[in-house]
Each structure stands twice: as C-alpha cells, then as structure tokens.
Amino acid sequence: MSEARTPAEIEAEIVRRRQELAETLDELAVRVHPKTIADGVKARASSVVDRTAGRAYVAVNHALSDVRDRFTDEEGRPRAARVVPVALVVVGVAGLLVVSSRRRRRRR
C-alpha cells in the first residue's frame, strides 16, 4: 500500500510542516495587525477620493467647455448676441440684491 518511512523522514516532514505553519502564522499576524488594516482602509479611501475627484474634474471641465462654446465663436471671440443678455440679467439680479439689502437695513 504505502511505503514505510524511516524515523528521519518523518522527523524531516515534521520540521518542514512546522516551518510552513510558522510562516503561515506570521503572515496571518501581519494581515490582522491594526496598522496593516488601517493602511488598507486608507489606501481604499484614497483611491475612492482620487477616482471621485477625477470624475468631478472631468464633469466640471466638460461643463465649462460647453459654456465657453455657447458664448464664444470658433475663433474664441465673445458672441455679443449671447453675452449681452446674460450680462444684463446678472446686473439686474445684482441690483435687486442691493436694493433688497438696503431695504432690510432701513427696517432695522
């Protein structure tokens, strides 16, 4: 059936298995060490932040390009037909805010 092993072979097998077990235990100790766990969590969080920031950058850049394309022509010059109405609205809103702010100050 199976070959008979000598006591020296059995002893060598025991020594080899003890070494393997010691290496496995050392690896497990490193994996469950709080610093290792914290470093892993920090690395994953940093990765998520980097990925999210990258997506946000792309989205903002795309939005700004769209706005720029709407208000400038192919050579990059402002399109007066689109810039002037927006400027008037901005000035109007700013004026309303100033008037509203002055009215609130008078009431106090």
pLDDT tens, N- to C-terminus, the chain (108 residues): 468 899 999 999 999 999 999 999 999 999 999 999 999 999 999 999 999 999 999 999 999 999 999 999 888 898 889 889 999 999 999 999 999 998 888 887
pLDDT at 2: 61
Query: What φ, ψ does residue 72 adopt, rounded to 5°?
Result: -130, 155
Please give the model's pTM, rounded to 2 decimal places: 0.48
Cβ-proximal residues to 73 (8 Å cutoff; 6+ apart), any chain: 79
